[in-house]
Chain A
Amino acid sequence: MLIANYIPLILLVLVAIAVVGGIIFAAEFFGPKNPTREKLMPYESGSDPLSEPQASRFSVKFYMVAISFILFDLETVFVIPWAMSWRESAAMGHGFYSFAVMALFLAILTIGLVYEWSQGGLEWD
């Protein structure tokens, strides 16, 4: 872990800064300028990010989706180490046991999913 090991990384960062800076400056100096109101907004998609927070509230529905995502996403944290070690478990002759443990874990998660579905957590409207 010598600092010398990081030299390629530092070089990459320097090159990235140079390239991005170069492009921005080139666009600034050589590009044609024809400003309109829409073009001067930070995002050219037409949505104004500087409006009052009250005006740009978003729906609670996003919250439901985000939370469901986090909860079911984290199961992979446990599934991946299991998948990595299953081969060794099978070599020791405990493959079915190992499989059954993970199946139980997933079954409990599935019950949770069934519950969420039945409560309308997956409906958009």
Chain B
Amino acid sequence: MSWEPTLAHYLILSAAIFSIGMIGVMVRRNAIILFMSIELMLNAVNLTFIAFSRYRIDMDGHIFAFFVMAVAAAEAAVALAIVLHVFRHKRSVNVDEMQQLQY
């Protein structure tokens, strides 16, 4: 049996991971899990970049993926700080309990 992973396989995998992240952001209510879902989306994008980069024999996608990693780290730092900030006030990280700003 001869089977070779092609571009399409990587794209389907990354689209699936991206969708899982998207659904996670929409469905889950725990702030930490929301941020994990967003990280999942960013990493799915990284996989897309690397797959295309490899397919096209071009280094631009690799470079892009590096910068996405750096941005994801910066976002994670800010995200955790914001969660801490919210937790200090509400003693909870459930986003459904954040209704102070809606009237």
A and B touch in the complex (CB under 8 A): yes
Residues of A in contact with B (beta carbons under 8 Å apart)? 1-3, 60, 63, 67, 70-71, 74, 77-78, 81
Binding site for A on B (CB under 8 A): 1-5, 66, 69-70, 73-74, 76-77, 80-81, 84
Q: B87's closest neighbor in chain A, by CB?
A: A60
Are A71's CB and B2's CB within 8 A? no
Contact B66 A81 (CB under 8 A): yes
A-B interface pairs (CB < 8 A), number? 30
Additional 11 contacts, C-beta under 8 A, given A1-B4, A70-B76, A74-B69: A1-B5, A2-B2, A2-B3, A2-B4, A63-B84, A67-B77, A71-B74, A71-B77, A74-B73, A77-B66, A78-B66
Closest to B76 in A: A70
Q: Is the CB of A74 within 8 A of B70?
A: yes
Separation of A61 and B50 alpha carbons in the complex (Å)? 35
Which residues of chain A are within 8 angstroms of B4 by Cβ–Cβ distance?
1-2
Secondary structure dominating the interface of A: helix
Q: Is the CB of B70 within 8 A of A77?
A: yes
A-B contacts, 9 listed (Cβ < 8 Å): A1-B4, A2-B3, A3-B1, A67-B81, A70-B73, A70-B77, A74-B69, A77-B70, A78-B70
* B2-A3 in contact (CB<8A): yes
State the Cβ distance, B93 to closest chain A Cβ, in Å: 12
B13 to A: closest C-beta gap in Å: 15
Q: Are A67 and B70 in contact (CB under 8 A)?
A: no
In the bound assembly, the distance between CA atoms of A60 and B88 in angstroms comes to 11
Chain A residues contacting B73 (CB-CB under 8 Å) are: 70-71, 74
- CB-CB under 8 A from B84, the residues of chain A are 60, 63
